[in-house]
Chain A
Amino acid sequence: MGICKHVLLSIAVVCMSLIPMVEAMAQEQLDSISVHTLNEVVVTANRFTEVIPSQKLTGKELEGLNSLSVADALRYFSGVQLKDYGGVGGIKTVNIRSMGSEQMGVFYNGIQLGNAQNGQVDLGKFSLENIEEISLYNGQRSDIFQTAREFGTAGSIYLTTRRPRFKADEKAHLKAGLKVGSFDFLNPSILCEYKLTDDIYATFNAEWINSSGKYEFRYRRVTPSGELAYDTTAVRENGDIDAVRIEGGVQGYMPRGKWKAYMYHYTSERGIPGAIVNNVWHRGERLWDRNSFAQAMFEYDITPRLSTKVHAKYAFDYTHYVNNDDKLIAVDNIYKQREVYASWANKYTILHNWDVSLAYDYQWNQLSEYRDVERNTHWVSLATAYALDDCFKVQASALATIVDEEDRARDDVPDKFKVTPAVFLSYKPFDRADLVLRAFYKQSYRMPTFNDLYYTDMGNAYLKPELATQYNVGVLYDLDRNDKLFSFFRIGADVYYNKVTDKIVAYPKGQQFRWTMLNLGVVDIRGIDAQAMAVFRFPYHIELTTKLQYSYQEAIDITNPHDTYYRHQIPYVPWHSGSAVVMLGWRDWTLNYSFIYVGERYNQQENIIYNYTQPWYTNDVSLIKVFRLKNVVLKATLEVNNLLDQDYDVILNYPMPKRNYRVGVTIEI
Chain B
Amino acid sequence: MKYYRYILLWLVIATVACRTDEVIVPTEYEQLFTPSGEECDPVGMYLLNEGNMGSNKASIDYINFEEGYYARNLYAERNPTVIKELGDVGNDIQLYGNRLYVVLNSSHKVEVVDARTLVRIGQVDIPNCRYIQFDKGNAYVTAYVGPISIDPHAQLGAVYRVDTASLAITAQCTVGYQPDELVIHDGYIYVANSGGYRKPNYDTTVSVVDIEAMKQVRKIAVAPNLHRIRKDAYGKLWVSSRGDEASIPSRLLVLEPSEGASREMVVTDTLDIPCSDMYIHGDSLYFYSNAWSDKLEQNVVTYGIVDVRTKQLITEHFITDGSEKYIEKPYGIAVNPATGDIFVTDAKNYVSSGVLHCYSSDGVKKWSVRAGDIPAHMVFLNRE
Contacts and interface: CB of A to CB of B under 8 A. Distances in A.
Contacts of A278: 56, 82-88, 104, 107, 109
Contacts of B370: 564
A230 B80 contact: yes
A662 to B, nearest CB: 21
A68 interface: no
B348 A277 contact: no
A509 B7 CA distance: 54
A279 B250 contact: no
14 contacts: A23-B2, A230-B80, A230-B81, A275-B88, A278-B83, A280-B106, A328-B144, A329-B155, A329-B178, A512-B196, A564-B348, A604-B352, A614-B20, A648-B19
A221 B290 contact: no
A186 to B, nearest CB: 30
A277 B351 contact: no
Interface in A297-331: 326-330
A278 B88 CA distance: 7
A327 B299 contact: no
Interface stretch (A7-15, A86-94, A173-181, A467-475): A7-15
Contacts of B104: 278-279
B87 A326 contact: no
A619 B18 CA distance: 14
Interface in A9-34: 9, 12, 15-16, 19-20, 23
B352 A617 contact: no
Nearest to A222: B21
A595 B10 contact: yes
B111 to A, nearest CB: 9
B127 A518 contact: no
B358 to A, nearest CB: 19
B107 A326 contact: no
B213 interface: no
B128 A328 contact: yes
A653 B351 contact: no
A574 to B, nearest CB: 12
A219 B23 CA distance: 11
Interface of A: 1, 5, 8-9, 12, 15-16, 19-20, 23, 219-224, 226-227, 229-230, 232, 274-280, 326-330, 332, 456-457, 507-514, 516, 518, 536, 544, 546, 563-565, 580, 582, 595, 597, 599, 603-606, 608-610, 614-617, 619, 644, 646, 648, 652-653
A404 B1 CA distance: 65
A510 B288 CA distance: 12
A224 B372 CA distance: 20
A9 B370 CA distance: 34
Contacts of A653: 54-56
B57 interface: yes
B192 interface: no
Contacts of B348: 564
Contact of A329 (B10, B18, B144): B144
Interface in B180-227: 196-197, 199, 227
Identify which of B84, B245, B299 gathers the most chain A CB atoms within 10 Å of its CB: B84
Given A230-B80, A617-B19, A518 B152 contact: no
Q: How large is the interface on B (under 10, 10 to 19, 20 to 34, 35 or more residues)?
A: 35 or more
Given A19-B6, A457-B245, A619 B24 contact: no
B261 interface: no
A220 B108 contact: no
Contacts of A609: 25
Given A279-B87, A546-B6, A516 B292 contact: yes
B73 interface: yes
B82 A230 contact: yes
Given A508-B329, A606-B352, A328 B145 contact: yes
A280 B108 contact: yes
B16 interface: yes
Contacts of A232: 83
Contacts of B13: 8-9, 12, 595, 597
A616 B127 contact: no
Nearest to A544: B3
Interface in B82-110: 82-88, 104, 106-109
Contacts of A514: 292
Given A275-B54, A326-B148, A328-B128, A614 B19 contact: yes
Contact of A221 (B23, B144, B155, B329): B23
B83 A230 contact: yes
B88 A280 contact: yes
Contact of B19 (A9, A330, A580, A615): A615
Rank and list the top 8 A-B pairs by shortest CB-CB distance, nearest first.
A330-B152, A327-B127, A510-B292, A278-B87, A229-B80, A277-B88, A509-B292, A275-B54
B320 interface: no
B134 interface: no
A610 B84 contact: no
Contact of B23 (A223, A328, A544, A580): A223
Contacts of B54: 274-275, 277, 653
